[in-house]
Structure 1
Amino acid sequence: MQSLAAVNINKYFYDPQEFHVLKEVSFEVKRGEFISVVGKSGSGKSTLLYLLSTLDTAYTGSIAINGTTVTGLTQNQLATFRNEHIGFVFQFHYLLPEFTVLDNVMLPALKLNKRPKEEIREKALDLLTLLDVRGHEHKKASMISGGQQQRVAIARALINDPAIIMGDEPTGNLDSKNTKTVFNIFRQLARERNQTIIAVTHDDEFAANCDRIIEMVDGRIIAQHP
């Protein structure tokens, strides 16, 4: 089953001068596939992720996620869609430091407001167990280690059962041990939970172990390696 389809995506920047940053980009991602997008700085990979995550709507072409064409939706529609269907894991965890670990994980689900608070709490605790950070749920997010913070960020990304997890350099701030841990979590999520994962990375070893590598140069996909 298809999880994402991008068709003939073109993107321009106009400041300080016109620059064609993405050129006729087309690809599909199947449900449960773990994909990395690689390329040198300026290749367009982070810009592409920004479009796929519906945070930038100034492009031509079309993007469909989980059977819904998101191109052309209003900002309010996109905000609701993102919260329900897309989980984000960034290079920096973006946890709220004064909130507890548990509150950080629960937040997107409380915002979506589709389940009772107690059910959300139980789901959050289950995810913290899955990600091996159970026991820290009542600590403030600022009081746990960097590797633990990134695992909490993954739990937060999973709380609404998103169709896709999008990672922007998700291991960029981690040492090699924690990088391996986070990679193994993603691998487990894809294999055991049929979670679709698209990660932009500079880490060659991380990319090499994914299901597929999408390689970008100068705004184009030049190769896809299984």
Structure 2
Amino acid sequence: MNTTAFEPHVLHTHKITKYFYEPDKFQVLKEIDLTVHKGEFLSLVGKSGCGKSTLMYVLSTMDTDYEGELEIAGVRLTDKTQNELAAFRNKHIGFVFQFHYLLPEFTTLQNVMIPALKLGKYSRKEVEDRAYAKLEMLGMKEHALKPTSKLSGGQQQRVAIARALINDPDIIMGDEPTGNLDSYNTHVVFDIFQELTHTYKQTIIAVTHDEEFARKSDRIVEMSDGHIVR
């Protein structure tokens, strides 16, 4: 997909700079300027230690110890309080990690419902209906009432994606979302991400070491020594 000029941007940074101070002062991010457009599937790549995971944590608003500015969905997030950021994340950002972090004693449906119940925007019945709809989109509706501990690794990751989608976030952020999957399920997750962006205009930013995964995404942003190099 070619992101055209008229697509609105959903994320923008200006000169994001970050230091680590242990054991010595070290600049890990160096004036990062990045714009991500609605419906774009972006892979963030680079060698270990290049700063990509650090940048992801800043973009996700979970790391606030940086210089520069971060804007998501038209909201300037720099200098917001932790409570304001937590509320913003729940509404505007969905997360898919290398490990699914599902609650094993809960059903698939209950796991997907959690962020929407926390949001408090919909009735419980509406949340349940939304959860069923997301599970159906991901081919997991028939497993809705199973404990997640009874699902395969690939199925659990699809449930994690459904959970990330439940509040219709502006961005899904993935931290090595296929890093714990075999090649078959890696392709399944990639196809899901591609459909989400191309069909539903969902914006996705994923940190990955998987070269094939990155190559098939809409745009690769490569980092080296704290800089974006392409």
TM-score (norm 2): 0.96
2:45 counterpart (38, 57, 70):
38
Query: What SS is found at the alignment partner of 1:54?
Result: coil
Say which of 75, 87, 97 aligns to 1:90.
97
Cα distance in 2 for residues equivalent to 1:173 and 1:192: 26
Counterpart position of 1:107: 114
C-alpha separation between the residues in 1 aligned to 2:156 and 2:169? Answer: 20
In 2, the alpha carbon distance for the partners of 1:164 and 1:127 equals 16
* Superimposed CA distance per residue, residues 167-222 of structure 1 (whole angstroms, 9 cap, x where no aligned partner): 00000000000000000000000011111000000000000011100000011001
Percent of paired sites with the same residue: 61
| Aligned-partner Cα distance in 2 for 1:159–1:170 | 17
Q: In the alignment, what sits opposite 1:59? A: 66
2:130 to 120, 123, 145: 123
Residue 136 of structure 1 is matched in structure 2 by 143
Divergent runs of 4+, >3 A: none
Q: 1:16: Cα distance to partner?
A: 1.2
Q: Secondary structure at the match of 1:61?
A: strand
Q: Distance in 2 between matches of 1:90 and 1:50?
A: 12
Q: Give the counterpart letter for 2:106 in structure 1.
A: F
Aligned residue pairs total 223
State how far apart, in whole Å, the 2-side matches of 1:94 and 1:180 are: 21
RMSD, aligned α-carbons: 0.5
Gaps of 5+ in 1: none
Partner of 1:135: helix, strand, or coil? helix
1:9 is the counterpart of 2:16: yes
Deviation at 1:18, TM superposition (A): 0.8
Match of 2:84 among 62, 77, 85: 77
- Counterpart in the other structure of 2:223: 216
Instruction: Please state whether the residue corresponding to 1:165 is helix, strand or coil.
Output: strand
* Aligned twin of 1:152: 159
Q: Distance in 1 between matches of 2:144 and 2:227?
A: 43
Paired with 1:122 and 1:58, the residues of 2 have a C-alpha distance of 39
